[in-house]
Amino acid sequence: MDAIIKPLRGKSPDGKSQDFRPAELDPAEFLAAAVHPDQARPSRGEAEQAVQTLLAYIGENPRREGLLDTPRRVVEAYDELFQGYHQCPAEVLNRTFGETAGYDDFVLIRDMNFTSHCEHHMMPFYGKAHIAYTPVERVVGLSKLARLVDIFGHRLQTQEHLTAQLAAAVDEVLKPRGVAVMVEAEHTCMSARGIRKEGSRTFTTRFTGNFRDNPVEQARFMSMINMPSR
């Protein structure tokens, strides 16, 4: 039996039924780079010293040969893994194209692989993001949505927050008729520690505009991202 997707509904203060609308994110949170040029930050030497402290904490000898360069390598790895703090999502989406020949259906990019880090344990989670939007006259370059996933993924995240940020950024910058986002991921803080359920995946979604209000559009989106790959 096919699932029927319905708009979420809730109760207003007077007890009447009303459509649910998700909380809005602050544009300053997802449109600009997260690190400001004048923001006070520890030096690279202080960061490397922090790694040495952690090595000592777990019972290692930071002075043994195999660990002498580890603090430097860890800090260099962090520069790469968390480069999204220095990148501006709005700039990625600002270049659009108007030659669409009147195209009026949604655009979907699925299976965009990403790796991010959980803000609770700073352990990796990884998976795929699927983004669709229904343009109004102008479209964005296809690689830009993949770049957007990379920017938000290269920050400390929760999967729920990542999903909401992706949808909000596309919605705010492109002003489409609607946005649909699904993120599916495996979290190593759940598979490699704690409950140790390897292979379990978490799914999160966010819909705006015509995707939020039209169950048919939601169903089309879900059907297309579940189509077998060639």
Who's near 147: CB < 8 A, 6+ residues apart?
Answer: 92
Q: Is 117 a catalytic residue?
A: no
Task: Determine which one of 87, 159, 165, 218 is catalytic.
Answer: 159
Q: Is 218 a catalytic residue?
A: no
Task: Determine which one of 117, 130, 154, 187 is catalytic.
Answer: 187
Task: Determine which one of 87, 117, 118, 172 is catalytic.
Answer: 118
Distance CA 160, CA 194 (A): 20
Contact indicator for 84, 120 with CB cutoff of 8 Å: no
Task: Determine which one of 29, 60, 186, 189 is catalytic.
Answer: 189
Distance CA 111, CA 30 (A): 22
* Ramachandran sector of residue 78 (left: φ over 0; alpha: ψ -120 to 50; beta: rest): alpha
Task: Determine which one of 119, 137, 160, 198 is catalytic.
Answer: 119
Q: Is 137 a catalytic residue?
A: no
Q: Is 88 a catalytic residue?
A: no
Q: Using the Cα atoms of residue 29, residue 136, residue 111 and residue 148 in order, give the sign of their dihedral.
A: negative
Which residue type, as a one-letter code, is found at position 4? I
Task: Determine which one of 46, 49, 83, 120 is catalytic.
Answer: 120
Running DSSP on this structure, what letter comes out for residue 138? B
Which residue type, as a one-letter code, is found at position 182? M
Number of H helices and number of E strands within the chain? 9, 9
Helix ranges (DSSP H) in 23-62: 27-30, 44-57
Task: Determine which one of 60, 121, 161, 184 is catalytic.
Answer: 121
Identify any residues that bridge with 132 across adjacent strands, giving them in sequence order. 108, 180
Distance CA 69, CA 74 (A): 9
Active site residues: 118-121, 159, 187, 189
